[in-house]
Structure 1
Amino acid sequence: MMSRSFGVEDSKWMVEVGANWVQGTQTEAGPANPIWELAKKHNVSLHSSHYFGSVSTYDDSGPFDFQDTFQQSIENFDKLTAVAGARVPNRLVDMTARSGYALSGSRPRSRYEMAAEYYQFDWEFGATPEETSWLASSWAHNNTFLEFSRENLLSVDQRGFKTLIQAEAEGFLTEQQVRLNATVAKVYTSKKGVVVTLADGAEITANYALCTFSLGVLQHDDVKFVPPLPAWKQEAIHSMSMGTYTKIFLQFPENFWFDTEMALYADHERGRYPVWQTLDHPAFFPGCGILFVTVTGDFSRRIESMSDAAVRAEILSVLGDMFPNATIPDPLDFYFQRWFSDPLFRGSYSNWPANFLSEHQGNLRANVDERLWFAGEATSKKWFGYLHGAYTEGEDIGLTLAECIKGGGCFGLEHVERVRNALPYDVE
């Protein structure tokens, strides 16, 4: 969760470069999303996002109506997740979401079909259907939007969306319990406890440690573990994948774009600046002049290798195609977070590939010996990739660890020493 003051001096606004939505709230007396509960508790300002009912469509010739294709993509995604939901109890073999799309009758060929599919899938999971488990993506989506509700609430709180976490922490944390601006370099574990070495050489000792490093940080070996993490843990870490989700913000002196909340651009290259959102809208921050576009996956990593000026030039070129009758002014401000390159993140959130087995997930979540524990959205089997998955995992593992401390020790969570295929491959 990361907020940023964005815009020129006389028109600054707090924008969310990280998590931005409460995804799923509550249906009648059903279970409530814990993030929704926290947002209400701390009076975080939210506004309903009309994902599907307020979308304009464009291609490189300007406004182009492919609403029928867009609506069909919604049906295709609903069918994809519904068919997978029916498969899970039967314990049928998993495959990629691309295979799932094909088996449920969707085979996008035109750029309009691909852009519409991107809006439904990549924009949600931060990865392509080819990279993603059909079953796992479906249950994470269904457990969120069917268990809670289909509502998406966009944070418009000028304190920042992270306020709900900060305000909650103020109820029990003291300044002495938090070390700010400190980067962990090494984690040393033994039967006696844990020693954490910071980048400046300072050491913190404890009986137990709970690691909430992102999956990407673990995959990049940005923190050294002594002794090295066991093979079963390393295999689990590298069997899951990390998605990247990049919002690129621009502030203009005047609004020249669509009056809907969203816009979808169909480029010949799938994933090239496809999903646009305006904050200069009566529902959000009217008069702010802020427009942002989202890219994901390989395209996110591509633009991170480019200069800001080069990315800005590409985006202005796309805007010129989308609005051929408008004079596109130079932006007053421009920013995007380089999530993949940043050693504190190495991506945005986890993604479950088709070859990631339930045993891998259990091993990713399991503690190492008695002293070293792990939590985060990636360890959530039910809600990986979602903010509420990160919250519930932190709460669950934290409570488990507290019981260990109170009880004078515990064995912890089970792991599988060697993950095997259900059946061996026949190579004869």
Structure 2
Amino acid sequence: MKVSCSVVVFALVFHFFLVTGSRSPPPSDSVIIIGAGMSGIMAAKTLEEAGYKDYIILEADSRIGGRVHKGQVDGNTVEMGANWLFSGGPKSSPAHEIAKKIKLRTLYSDYGNLSSNIYKQGGGLYEKHVVESAFKVADARQEFGTNLSKILSSKKGGDDDISILGSQRLFKQVPKGPLDLAVDYFYNDFEEAEPTRISSLKNTFPRQLMEDFGEDSYFVADPRGFETVVHYIANQFLSHNNNKITDPRLQLKKTVRKINQSKNKVIITTEDGSVYHANYVIVTVSVGVLQSDLIGFVPRLPLWKKLAINNFDMAIYTKIFMKFPYKFWPTGPGTEFLLYAHETRGYFTIWQHLENELPGENMIFVTVTDEESRRIEQQSEKKTKAEIMQVLKKMFGNGKQIPEPDTMLIPKWWSNRLYKGSYSNWPNGYTLHSYHDLQQPFGRIYFAGEHTNSTYLGYVDGAYFSGINTANALIKCLKHFCEGRRS
């Protein structure tokens, strides 16, 4: 897309105002957005559409998209972060609607035959009727938990809550043994990325995203990547050429290290020494990054804000992709998802082959979360490969030779200082008052990100709406109707 001369002049003038060395005061109502993930891009789009074009987006990474991020395994695109879209409910998911518009390739994830695909710790499949019995108990546990959650939520002004595990204890059906643990992990940890003893019942069940958008899940399997959804949005308002964003208001590889706010302005300092001035800032980094020491705040964040940030949870969800010289796992209808039951919760439990998504590529991946993710990120890839090979030999050996993978990709979301995890999760005991504080601006600093959208917490759609909501709150303030700002 070609840019008019007037736009170029405006962009250069605006850049002069904001970047280091400007001796002029910041332009009226100027805004800096930290982070170019879904929430940051939506915040910028919302400001743009409201007529506020004096903003700049500072992104620490070399790309936009944040935790919507593709990777490569021997030339094949895989999704290291967000991967599924949801459909079939009374409302439409914005991310899914955009995916359909740009014809993003997705495949329906069919979990229907999972009861025939659960492997014992020592090898061999469980009998189907045994697994079906375990699933019936899991369904009853979840129904009980959902009903209890609705009762707790109906209490006006109350903070009564319980963990998912606590509700299972009330129901007198606590998972035990490898099979029950594997099934329970599939029902809960596979979604929240943390164990049931941590996750809040009231703020997990019912899962509002699935209530609204549906439980039909679609696996993104497009060479362009899920991040194309974010690019599509960005291209609607940022100048670009041949799908490459050229707008000077987006600056990549700018890691923010300090946010200094005074009564009348905000000064941002990045790792490379650049200094930016604005009237307001929208911080869209993950709650995990806020919990780290990456960004320093001057003055320091007040105690109410620090408590709200540090008592929330940043979960870790890791997909380990492997490409083999040939397939040795079952393929065909009803074989896509497999479970490995182990006495240790979450020990290489959930497997998915990619024969439907990448036919003939001999690829499979395993999902781990929480402490297993942390453990794997801290050990050598060689040791992780050896552990995985031991599991695969138990699952599919039966005297057959199991080859080593040609390629293995292990995303490290927890170790990456720009993310510090995969997505947020509401822990038991975290109150609505604390969550309100988590969302609240502090002076001229506003906060966005999936962790600030309680309706779709942890999902791309949550990030989408959080960017809109936070930008609208700031716009309201810019029109001299500031509400909820605390110092």
1:166 maps onto 2:231 in alignment: yes
1:423 counterpart residue number: none
1:364 counterpart residue number: 438
1:271 counterpart residue number: 346
Cα displacement (A) at 1:410: 4.0
2:295 counterpart residue number: 223
2:96 counterpart residue number: 36
Please give the secondary structure, in 2, of the residue aligned with 1:63.
Answer: coil
Cα displacement (A) at 1:414: 5.5
Cα displacement (A) at 1:265: 0.3
Match of 2:401, as an amino acid?
A: T
1:144 maps onto 2:216 in alignment: no
Alignment of 1:345-424 (within 5 A): 345-369=419-443, 371-405=444-478, 407=479, 409-413=480-484
1:191 maps onto 2:263 in alignment: yes
| 8 Å contact from structure 2 (residues 124, 394) kept in 1 | no
Distance 1:151 1:180 in 2: 35
User: How big is each residue's C-alpha offset from its partner over 1:74-97, in whole Å with a ceiling of 9 and x where there is no partner?
Assistant: 443243223312431135620111
| 8 Å contact from structure 2 (residues 258, 270) kept in 1 | yes
Q: Which has the larger radius of gyration?
A: 2
- 1:213 and 1:356, CA in 2 relative to 1: closer, same or farther beyond 3 A? same
Distance 1:297 1:368 in 2: 31
Alignment of 1:64-103 (within 5 A): 64-65=125-126, 66-68=130-132, 69-91=134-156, 93-103=160-170
* Higher deviation after alignment, 48-57 or 308-317: 48-57
Percent of aligned pairs with the same amino acid:
33
1:308 counterpart residue number: 381
- 1:156 and 1:64, CA in 2 relative to 1: closer, same or farther beyond 3 A? same
Distance 1:277 1:288 in 2: 14
- 1:74 and 1:384, CA in 2 relative to 1: closer, same or farther beyond 3 A? same
1:62 counterpart residue number: 123
Please give the secondary structure, in 2, of the residue aligned with 1:40.
Answer: helix
Gaps of 5+ in 1: 418-428
| 8 Å contact from structure 1 (residues 255, 280) kept in 2 | no
Cα displacement (A) at 1:341: 1.0
Distance 2:178 2:88 in 1: 36
Q: 1:124 aligns with which of 191, 206, 209?
A: 191
Match of 2:92, as an amino acid?
A: A
Cα displacement (A) at 1:234: 0.4
Please give the secondary structure, in 2, of the residue aligned with 1:176.
Answer: coil
- 1:401 and 1:222, CA in 2 relative to 1: closer, same or farther beyond 3 A? same
User: How big is each residue's C-alpha offset from its partner over 1:347-405, in whole Å with a ceiling of 9 and x where there is no partner?
Assistant: 11111111110011000000001x11001111112221122111111111112223333
Alignment of 1:5-44 (within 5 A): 5-7=72-74, 12-22=75-85, 24-27=86-89, 30-44=90-104
Gaps of 5+ in 2: 1-67, 240-246
Please give the secondary structure, in 2, of the residue aligned with 1:138.
Answer: coil
User: How big is each residue's C-alpha offset from its partner over 1:7-55, in whole Å with a ceiling of 9 and x where there is no partner?
Assistant: 2xxxx21000100011x3243xx32112112212222111111134356
* Higher deviation after alignment, 158-167 or 97-106: 97-106
| 8 Å contact from structure 1 (residues 61, 324) kept in 2 | no
2:317 counterpart residue number: 245
1:47 maps onto 2:102 in alignment: no
Please give the secondary structure, in 1, of the residue aligned with 2:364.
Answer: strand
| 8 Å contact from structure 1 (residues 367, 412) kept in 2 | no
Q: Structure 1 length normalisation: TM-score?
A: 0.90
Distance 1:74 1:293 in 2: 24
Distance 2:171 2:416 in 1: 38
Q: Structure 2 length normalisation: TM-score?
A: 0.79
- 1:351 and 1:124, CA in 2 relative to 1: closer, same or farther beyond 3 A? same
1:338 maps onto 2:401 in alignment: no
| 8 Å contact from structure 1 (residues 366, 412) kept in 2 | no
2:34 counterpart residue number: none
2:9 counterpart residue number: none
CA RMSD of aligned residues (A): 1.7
Please give the secondary structure, in 1, of the residue aligned with 2:361.
Answer: coil
Distance 1:395 1:38 in 2: 16
Distance 1:74 1:41 in 2: 35
| 8 Å contact from structure 1 (residues 26, 33) kept in 2 | no
Cα displacement (A) at 1:111: 1.1
2:368 counterpart residue number: 295
Cα displacement (A) at 1:180: 0.9
Give aligned pairs, total: 402
